[in-house]
Chains A and B, each alone.
Chain A
Amino acid sequence: MALATQHPGLRWLPYSLAGAAIFLAVWSLLPQAGIVPSALLPSPMAVGKTFFELTQEPFAGYTIQQHLLSSFIRFASGFGLAAAIGVPLGLLMGWYRWLDRAVAPIFETIRFIAPIAWLPFAVLWFGTGIGGPILIIFSGAFPACLINAYRGARLTQGFLIEAAETLGAKPRHIITEVVMPSALPSIVAGLRIGAGVGWQSLIGAELIVVSSGVGYLMVQGQGNLATEKVMAGMVAIGCVGVLIDVALRAAERHFRRFEQA
């Protein structure tokens, strides 16, 4: 209790543990008690075992690590492209009004198209190998990259820009040394959102057209009525998603280090 009063978070720990226990218990007992057939809901143990097996024996052509790797390579290329174009464009739109006014109507129109709806054209234009999926990830990650860079630039304190101007800064200095660092926390937050949407869009694309990657593994599992393989794939997707987010969160903390606590 002494510990609990010192750490207010600990006071609720028993409830969290209970919550976790209930969650696992319900998940394991439902199939065991025969309420739900275990073919539809394999127990956590079964999913864990399948996951391990998938790391050893290839399924749908590859082991799960290889599937993950090919997914991740696609993700990294598409996301990298989205960040490389979206962030500078957003910053410039925040700085140059005419660019903002020129790009905004087109961007706002295209934004209403769900990224995954680009799939038919992505395949038509770039094929199902790596080009098509990259376009899908790009269209998922690009809007957040652009919007957050834009907002960050627009919210740069006016007096900091004026201070820079009076110190002899030229537009290029102001953009790289004032607007960009000032927008950086917002940019990284945008990258995080974009990464999430991009990763999810890739999984969608892999479910439909691609013939490797975790999404493909899951579709094959579904075709074989192997629920435990599908769920193992979901676990893998969740883990990679968390890892990407953790990495970007660390970057966010790094770039916020100069801020007041």
Chain B
Amino acid sequence: MAKLDLVMFEEEYNQLQEIIGRLQVDSSSKVVFLVDKNGQQIAAAGDVRSIDATSLASLTAGNVAATDGLAKLIGEKEFSLLFHEGEKDNLHISIVGKRGILVVIFDQSSSLALVRLRVKKASRELQEIFERVEYRAQDQGGENAKFESPFTEITDEDIDRLFGD
């Protein structure tokens, strides 16, 4: 069964948030996003309001998925890094663990070399947390069983309410 739910707890989330917050400051970048490979935003730091984060997450995931497809076509496992250079802003995209994507947006107040350096360090820290979350996702009867799913008694009314009737 491929349905491995990604469950993230408060503590892990706070750790992720802290790491990318530090990355944003240390790399003098504008915004840092942590996105799931399926296109869902996990955490963000910096001037988040300047960007449509949800679209960014989805397009980044699409971009990475397409690049992964290209890598496989030519016999590579994956390309670990994507870099897009714009007139003002640049986009640095890298893979963290098996399912994380780190997106850094920076302008001339930083540099590619600095961003690279800081991303490398942050990635290692992020990866540790990701591995824990991924491990739990695989270990279905394990730690996941320790907490109660909040969705034990969903009724038709719950679903009707979601659709506003």
Do A and B make up one complex? no
Which residues in A have some Cβ–Cβ distance to B below 8 Å?
none
